[in-house]
């Protein structure tokens, strides 16, 4: 099967430069950087420049949307990141699961030394300040809203401190910059582009939707055949994506005159249902790869 034609997107260099500037400007104001990523694609949803841009600051990875990912695989990712010396937690910002683990990882692992030093200096009252970053659609706003509660408590203006209105309180001890740094993923790698497209992080108008659906079906047939059987009553046994898409359309009665399958309709339905989590909790990247 040919690769999907995912055009390499030319992000306006000016746009990226602005983000870089904004992160750099605010970096000196925070104790740590929290990068939100998608638990289904923990590598593809990271910005490759993040490490460089936030150099010198401790970074915590939040694998968000864990309700949509395969929990077994997510656990393996957390262990993998740990083995690399990276503090990572998983979270579901829709329900709020994982919030306590986040706070604990931030205070007891990532910033343990800093907080101990502050305590020793009698400065334990000073809040921990964090900056939230991530590519579009990973759940940055949901994270900030969830963590700050329904009534966002803004940090009050203090003389001498500029732009305090951008900080929101998270309990007594943590303050979050209420202005997430939005970064873009890297599209040059077709595998990365494809996985971002599966999750809807790349707009469908730049990809061929039927080819994308065929690739997703091939992946699901290989890794999650039971989910295809359960949702679509599809029996899969190594068919190419084209045949899988036809089978899916037929199962759903998506026919056009002459008994042919309307593969475009079937493709749109598959991707919509996948993105809505209706096919199940599915991971698109495995740490072992
Ligand atoms: P962003 O600021 O990083 O761009 O992301 P945002 O919070 O806007 O979230 C993007 C979408 O992802 C939203 O869905 C949001 O509800 C959903 N989302 C965020 N966190 C989670 C999570 O942990 N689990 C699940 N299942 N979904 C999550 P939307 O369709 O754009 O809006 P809506 O469904 O909230 O109406």
Confidence (pTM): 0.91
CATH at residue 244: 1.10.1580.10
pLDDT surpasses 50 at 87: yes
**Ligand 1 mutation pick, 93, 101, 176, 283, max ligand atoms within 8 A of CB:** 93
How do strand 59-64 and strand 32-38 relate by DSSP bridges?
A: parallel
Q: How confident is the model at residue 14 (pLDDT cuts 50, 70, 90)?
A: low
Q: 1, 3, 2, 9: which is closest to 203 by C-alpha? A: 9
Residues 266 and 148 in one domain: no
Q: 96, 170, 86: which is closest to 132 by C-alpha? A: 170
Structure-token match 């040919």, residue found: 2
> What percent of the chain has a predicted confidence (pLDDT) above 70?
88
- Picking from 137, 158, 178, the residue at the C-terminal end of a domain is 178
Residue-level pLDDT at 23: 86
In this predicted model, what pLDDT tens digit does every residue of 50-65 receive, in sequence order? Answer: 888 888 899 999 999 9
Residue identifier of the C-alpha nearest atom 29 of ligand 1: 137
- The mean-pLDDT minimum among 17-21, 58-62, 98-102, 229-233 falls in 17-21
In this predicted model, what pLDDT tens digit does every residue of 194-237 receive, in sequence order? Answer: 899 999 987 777 778 999 999 999 999 999 999 999 999 999 99
From the number of C-beta atoms within 10 Å of its C-beta (0-12, 13-18, 19+), residue 9 rates as: middle
DSSP 188: S
Q: Which atom of ligand 1 is nearest to the CA of 91?
A: 23
- The pair phi, psi for residue 181, each rounded to 5°, is -80, 115
Residues 90 and 154 in one domain: yes
In contact, 74 and 287? CB cutoff 8 Å: no
- Picking from 132, 162, 178, the residue at the C-terminal end of a domain is 178
Mean pLDDT over 233-255 rounds to 96
Complete DSSP assignment for 204-272: GGGS-HHHHHHHHHHHHHHH-HHHHHHHH----SS--HHHHHHHHHHHTT-B-GGG-B-HHHHHHHHHH
Highest mean pLDDT among 15-24, 79-88, 194-203: 79-88
Mean pLDDT over 235-242 rounds to 94
Q: Is the CB of 45 under 6 A from ligand 1?
A: no
Residues 85 and 217 in one domain: no
In a domain, 201, yes or no: no
Structure-token match 């695989």, residue found: 73
In contact, 99 and 146? CB cutoff 8 Å: yes
Residues 113 and 221 in one domain: no
Q: Please give the biggest Cα pair distance in the chain.
A: 80
How is the chain split among helix, strand and coil, in percent rounded to 5? 45, 15, 40
DSSP 50: H
Residues 213 and 159 in one domain: no
CATH at residue 131: 3.40.50.300
What does the alpha-carbon distance between residue 132 and residue 225 come to, in Å, rounded to a whole number? 36
- Structural domain total, the chain: 2
Residues 168 and 216 in one domain: no
Q: How confident is the model at residue 164 (pLDDT cuts 50, 70, 90)?
A: very low
In contact, 283 and 70? CB cutoff 8 Å: yes
Structure-token match 């343990």, residue found: 112
- Picking from 132, 163, 178, the residue at the C-terminal end of a domain is 178
Q: Which atom of ligand 1 is nearest to the CA of 136?
A: 4
Q: Mean pLDDT in the chain?
A: 88
Structure-token match 């740590």, residue found: 32
Residues 158 and 213 in one domain: no
For residues 91 and 14, which has the higher predicted lDDT (pLDDT)?
91
Domain containing 254 equals 208-275
In a domain, 192, yes or no: no
Could you tell me the two tokens for 254? 């998506």
CA of 220 to the centre of ligand 1 (A): 23
Q: 22, 70, 3, 23: which is closest to 42 by C-alpha? A: 70
Residues 11 and 52 in one domain: yes
In a domain, 42, yes or no: yes
In contact, 197 and 11? CB cutoff 8 Å: no
Residues 68 and 174 in one domain: yes
Q: Is the CB of 134 under 6 A from ligand 1?
A: yes
Distances (CA, A) of 42 to 127, 165, 198, 230, 283: 29, 32, 14, 26, 9
Residues 109 and 248 in one domain: no
pLDDT surpasses 60 at 12: no
Q: Which atom of ligand 1 is nearest to the CA of 66?
A: 23
**Ligand 1 mutation pick, 36, 94, 180, max ligand atoms within 8 A of CB:** 94
What does the alpha-carbon distance between residue 39 and residue 70 come to, in Å, rounded to a whole number? 9
Tallying the residues shown for the chain, one arrives at 289
């Amino acid at each position: 099967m040919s690769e999907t034609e995912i055009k390499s997107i030319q992000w306006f260099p000016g746009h990226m430069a602005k983000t870089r500037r904004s992160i750099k400007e605010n970096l000196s104001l925070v104790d740590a950087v929290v990068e939100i990523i998608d638990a289904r694609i923990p590598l593809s949803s990271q910005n490759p420049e993040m490490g460089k841009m936030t150099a010198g600051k401790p970074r915590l990875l939040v694998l968000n949307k864990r309700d949509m990912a395969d929990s077994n695989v997510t656990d393996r990712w957390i262990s993998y990141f740990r083995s690399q010396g990276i503090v990572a937690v998983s979270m579901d910002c829709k329900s709020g699961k994982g919030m306590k683990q986040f706070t604990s990882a931030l205070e007891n692992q990532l910033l343990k030394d800093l907080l101990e030093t502050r305590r020793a200096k009698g400065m334990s009252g000073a809040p921990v300040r964090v900056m939230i970053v991530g590519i579009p659609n990973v759940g940055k706003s949901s994270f900030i809203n969830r963590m700050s509660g329904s009534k966002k408590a803004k940090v009050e203006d203090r003389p001498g401190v500029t732009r305090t209105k951008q900080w929101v309180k998270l309990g007594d001890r943590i303050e979050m910059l209420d202005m997430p740094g939005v970064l873009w993923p890297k599209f040059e790698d077709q595998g990365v582009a494809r996985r971002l497209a599966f999750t809807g992080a790349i707009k469908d108008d730049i990809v061929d939707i039927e080819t994308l659906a065929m690739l997703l079906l091939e992946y699901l047939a290989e890794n999650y055949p039971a989910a295809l059987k359960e949702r679509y009553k599809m029996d899969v046994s190594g068919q190419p994506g084209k045949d899988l898409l036809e089978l899916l359309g037929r199962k759903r009665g998506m026919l056009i005159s002459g008994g042919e399958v309307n593969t475009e309709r079937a493709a749109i339905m598959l991707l919509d249902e996948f993105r809505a989590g209706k096919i199940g909790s599915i991971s698109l990247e495995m740490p072992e790869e």
